[in-house]
Amino acid sequence: MYLIIQADNFSTLHKETFIEDFERTLESVARELNRDFATNHVINVINEELEFQDILKERLTDETERKVYENLILHFNAGQVNDKLRENNFNIFTTFANMHGFVNINEYAESKNKLNEDLEKQKQEQKQFDMMKKAFKEALMETSQNR
């Protein structure tokens, strides 16, 4: 209550000066807190990344697994890959399948095999079409020569 009475006794100029001083002090404290927060945040991010890299080295022992991981990092956002890898308990093949829109690596392999079969079938059909086209042209040429 005493502070309120004191504040009422301030002239307008004193009130403005008091408020400006208070705001400057508040901004200074906020900057200092923000700097500390940012520093701590950066330290935490670096520590998390180092821990993640250590776990990655422990879990991805096979050269193939490391190459799959590197391939994923090249084609997808590293943060998404790492999050998905953690989610899959560092199973790189499940992560690979998930990043490509499949539930597991078996589903991915089946889809890839089906795609390869479909492509092979398409090539065979194109080959047959080309042979029939050639035979049809030859038949037309023969017919036109016989006339």
CA distance 63 to 70: 11
Contact 99, 81 (CB under 8 A): yes
Could you report the per-residue pLDDT of 30-75, keeping only the tens digit for each?
777 777 777 777 778 888 888 888 888 888 888 999 899 999 999 9
CA 133 to chain centre: 48
Neighbours of 92 (CB within 10 A): 23
Contact 105, 72 (CB under 8 A): no
Contact 102, 111 (CB under 8 A): yes
What's the whole-number mean pLDDT along residues 100-104? 90
Pull the structure tokens for residue 87: 């989610």
CA distance 58 to 73: 18
Contact 60, 66 (CB under 8 A): yes
Q: Is the pLDDT of residue 100 over 70?
A: yes
What's the whole-number mean pLDDT along residues 66-89? 91
Domain locations along the chain: 2-105, 106-147
The predicted pLDDT at position 116 comes to: 92
Residue with tokens 């990092």: 73
The predicted pLDDT at position 4 comes to: 47
Tell me the whole-structure pTM to 2 decimals.
0.55
How does residue 24 score in pLDDT terms, banded at 50, 70 and 90? confident
Neighbours of 96 (CB within 10 A): 23
Q: Is the pLDDT of residue 110 over 60?
A: yes
Percent of the chain scoring above 70 in pLDDT? 86
How does residue 81 score in pLDDT terms, banded at 50, 70 and 90? very high
Neighbours of 72 (CB within 10 A): 22
Q: ∠49-52-54 over CA atoms, to 5°?
A: 110
Q: Is the pLDDT of residue 91 over 60?
A: yes
